Each structure stands twice: as C-alpha cells, then as structure tokens.
C-alpha cells in the first residue's frame, strides 16, 4: 500500500511524526484530522486512511480532532487505529468507530518458567493448548451456559468467571475496568446475538486472533524498572499472550445496530459521508440502547479471555506437573481495543464527559490515573501491542502526554500493509508453517490459509510503530517479546 501524491499533499507536517489535514480540505469537516506516523509509516498508509479519518472529522459533536495512530490502515467506517472523542451531551456514538469484534483485546500472562524449561516441551505444550482452546470460525467452548447465566456475564464480565472458578480474584485487578465496563444492558441485545454468543465462551475465533507463547530475549528489556514492576524479570522468561474478543456475539450486535442507526439518522437530521459511519446521538434512545448492548459485548469479551486464561493455566499445570500458582502464571494486564467508553478529559481547561471511540486503538492512561492498577500506578497503565505471528509483540506503558494529546490512547498493533487476499497470493500456509518451525516457532492453526493471511510481511515493522509512539511520548517502550509457539485462530 502506498499513499497517493494527491492525498499526501493534503496532509501537512505539524511536528515530529505528526501530520494534519485542515478542515478546509473536505466539505463538512468540523475539526482537523491528525495522523501520527514517521515519514516511512505515513508513506505506507493507504488512501482509505485519509478518506476515513477526514470523514470521521465530519461527525456531529467531535471534539478537537479525528486521530489515527501509526498502525493505521483502512477499516470499516473509521480507519483501524482511529480515535475520536464526542461530547456526551451533543455528540454521537457510531458502531463504525468501534468495530464488529467489540472489545477485541490483548491479554499478557507472565510465567516463572524459562525458555530452557519450555523449549524441550514446546510442541507438546502447543498441541495441548490447541486442543484445550477451540479456534476457528464457529468454534464452541466448553462452558455450558443458560440464557440467564449468559446475561449475567454481559453485566459482570470477567467477575462472573472468577466467581465460578475460572480465574483468580487478583486477575480482576489487572484488567482495564477490572474486566467489567459500566453501562451494560442485556435488554437491548437481540435474541440472535444471544444465540450466537452463548456457545462461544472460551474460544479464540479466527482472523488475526491468536494464543502465543513468547520469550523476552537478551536486549529485549528496554526499561528495567518498569519491566520489573510488570513482572518481566530477565531474558529467557516465558510469557503467554492472547488476542481475541467477543466473537459472533459482538459481530451480531454491530450488525443489528448499524441497521437501526441507518434508519434513525434522518430522524435526527444526521448525514454522513459514508454509510459505514451510521450513528445516532449518544443521548438518544437508539444511542443509549447501542451503548448498553455494545458494553454487554465488551464484558463478554473480558469473560472470553478469562476462560481461555483458565484453560492456559490448566494446560501448563498438566504439562509441567505443578500448580499454576507455583508456575507463576500471573496476569500482567488485559487491555481493550474496539470500544467506546464514557470518560472525563480536560478540554480547553475544563473537564468534559466524552464518548471516546478507540477502533483498533488501545487505552494508554498515564501514571496516577485512578483506573490504573495500584501496582502500576507509578509507571502508567500497561499497553500490549500485538505484532505479527512471526516477529513478536511489545509491552509499553501509558503516559501523561497521551492523556493530553490522544485522550489517553495509543496504537494496538503493527497494522497491515496488505489485504488478507494479497498475502495469500504471496505465500502458502503450509509453507509458512514449515519455515516458522525451522526458525523455532511451532504453529498450530484451524486454517492453513488463515496462517498465510497473517504472514509477517503483511504487517508493518512493529519496531517502527513503537518507535513513533515512544518518540511522541504516547506510550513508553518497556519490553519486546518474541514468539516460540503460536495457535492461530
């Protein structure tokens, strides 16, 4: 992907790694659009990013600017990597600014094991995890739920799982919002969404979702003080990373409300440049109903990652013959992307209640923020950035500057450089699996074509994305993690 010269000319440098498109560039823009990227990353962004971020800048009630993180690429309505805040009183809420996989997110679990202990059993471990954590389209989980218990999950999130033996009480302290966002209302969830969600608790899904065994290499710890606070102790230490969300449940809610909003917009006099940005006033009946249903899906995603964590602990305990606690399988953090949340931020010197949309973007609250776990409050909220299955991931922390510049937001991944279809034309899944095995990365996948879609060359250079975030102080680099085993959804 490359930016066309015409669109490139419309974005002017507005500081180191900051590009701004003025409201005069498109009819209807209420605020500027701002893109955070190095020259090289900026040049890799497709034209869809420019069209979409400037369309977002046209939405009613948007505050200050429409933003795009350095991993930005074309998405549904908003660009992936898009962030926008709307006045809670006269602004809108848009499913296109959240995504279909509501609360798709990242979870990182430390272990007290070394690569020397895990490497000899990595194939056995990955095979056991692949069996224990269902993956792929339509996969069903092992937790049997009644409709009533599923509705409790919508409201209680990960707390329901811990109360029913699928986690440790301290897990909840180390999740964004303690694994349960306020405002969930199951009465606004369709029967179709409930039927799709009830059987999927504890499943990985498909697409770019994964469960990965990772190692911090020599030179991979960049901030020893913050790393120690997060439980990253020394090179060779092994970690488990999850990337998944609300599965078909969230997808159905997004589908349901796009139809509802499409019909509601004329009633509120709202016109959008792109039907994928269908929206409703946040305080309207339709807006509040979607917020209640969307939050229910967000809480189910926390529960999904919690049940998978339980399975991971069971498998490690069985393979290594020790209790999960003695193996040190403690949660580091669970962080969302694909949400809209009510948050209070300072705007022009006064505090405002905003509906902050993060679409393929991660919250990155800085030191001292009340919602940051007490164990991390001096260093800032952990930020987990997933890279490709070949190249690894990054652990960072949020900053005070992000609170001022991006509503406490940062990137969520490396960001694609090509479509899944293009990637599949360039490599076969079975070839890639053999190549990765030769490089010491064991892969099990529900679909070999799905592996080809996620080849490392289909993603931007993660270190380049992290460099921009670190330079701009939108989040601070702590550690880099490399894969040794991957279960691909």
Catalytic machinery residues:
412
**141: closest CA among 304, 336, 310, 317?**
304
Is residue 37 helix, strand or coil?
coil
Give the whole-angstrom CA distance, residue 5 versus residue 43: 10
For residue 266, with 0-12 CB atoms within 10 Å meaning exposed, 13-18 middle and 19 or more buried, which class applies?
exposed
**Cβ pair 250, 297 in contact under 8 A:** yes
478's CB contacts (< 8 A; 6+ apart) are 221, 222, 223, 226, 227, 230, 232, 395, 396, 397
Say which residue the tokens 């020259």 belong to: 39
| Distance, first Cα to last Cα, the chain | 25
**230: closest CA among 54, 397, 475?**
397
**Cβ pair 258, 107 in contact under 8 A:** no
**CA-CA-CA-CA torsion sign (477, 481, 487, 488):** positive
- Encoding tokens for residue 360? 């393929």
- Encoding tokens for residue 429? 């899944």
- Encoding tokens for residue 151? 């509705």
């Amino acid at each position: 992907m490359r930016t066309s010269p015409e669109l490139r000319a419309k974005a002017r440098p507005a500081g180191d790694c900051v590009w701004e498109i003025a409201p005069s560039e498109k009819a209807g823009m209420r605020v500027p659009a701002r893109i955070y990227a190095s020259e090289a990353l900026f040049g890799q962004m497709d034209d869809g990013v420019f069209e979409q971020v400037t369309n977002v800048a046209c939405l009613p009630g948007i505050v200050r600017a429409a933003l795009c993180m350095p991993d930005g690429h074309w998405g549904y309505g908003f660009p992936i990597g898009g962030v926008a805040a709307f006045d809670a009183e006269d602004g809108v809420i848009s499913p296109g600014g959240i995504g279909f996989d509501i609360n798709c997110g990242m979870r990182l679990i430390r272990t007290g094991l070394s690569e020397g202990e895990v490497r000899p059993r990595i194939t056995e471990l990955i095979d056991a995890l692949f069996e224990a954590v269902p993956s792929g389209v339509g996969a069903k989980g092992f937790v049997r739920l009644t409709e009533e218990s599923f509705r409790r999950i919508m409201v209680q999130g990960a707390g329901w799982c811990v109360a029913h033996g699928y986690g440790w009480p301290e897990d909840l302290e180390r999740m964004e919002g303690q694994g349960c966002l306020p405002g969930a209302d199951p009465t606004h969830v369709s029967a179709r969404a409930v039927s799709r969600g009830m059987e999927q608790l504890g499943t990985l899904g498909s697409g770019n979702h994964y469960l990965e065994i990772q190692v911090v290499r020599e030179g991979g710890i960049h901030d020893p003080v913050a790393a120690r606070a997060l439980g990253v102790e020394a090179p060779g230490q092994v970690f488990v990373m999850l990337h998944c969300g609300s599965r078909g449940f969230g997808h159905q809610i997004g589908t349901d409300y796009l139809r509802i909003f499409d019909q509601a917009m004329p009633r509120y006099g709202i016109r959008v440049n792109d039907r994928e940005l269908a929206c409703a006033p946040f305080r309207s009946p339709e807006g509040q109903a979607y917020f209640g249903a969307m939050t229910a899906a967000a809480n189910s995603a926390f529960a999904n990652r919690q049940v998978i964590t339980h399975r991971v602990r069971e498998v490690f305990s069985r393979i290594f013959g020790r209790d999960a606690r003695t193996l040190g399988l403690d949660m580091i953090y669970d962080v969302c992307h694909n949400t809209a949340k009510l948050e209070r931020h300072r705007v022009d010197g006064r505090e405002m209640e905003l509906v902050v949309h993060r679409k393929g973007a991660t919250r990155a609250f800085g030191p001292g923020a009340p919602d940051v776990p007490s164990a991390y409050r001096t260093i800032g909220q952990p930020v987990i950035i997933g890279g490709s299955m070949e190249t690894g991931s990054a652990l960072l922390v949020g900053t005070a500057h992000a609170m001022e510049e991006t509503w406490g937001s940062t990137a969520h991944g490396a960001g694609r450089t090509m479509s899944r279809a293009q990637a599949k034309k360039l490599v076969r899944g079975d070839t890639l699996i053999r190549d990765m095995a030769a490089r010491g990365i064991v892969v099990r996948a529900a679909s070999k074509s799905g592996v080809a879609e996620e080849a490392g060359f289909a993603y931007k250079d993660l270190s380049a994305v992290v460099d921009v975030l670190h330079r701009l102080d939108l989040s601070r680099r702590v550690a880099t993690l490399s894969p040794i085993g991957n279960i691909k959804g």
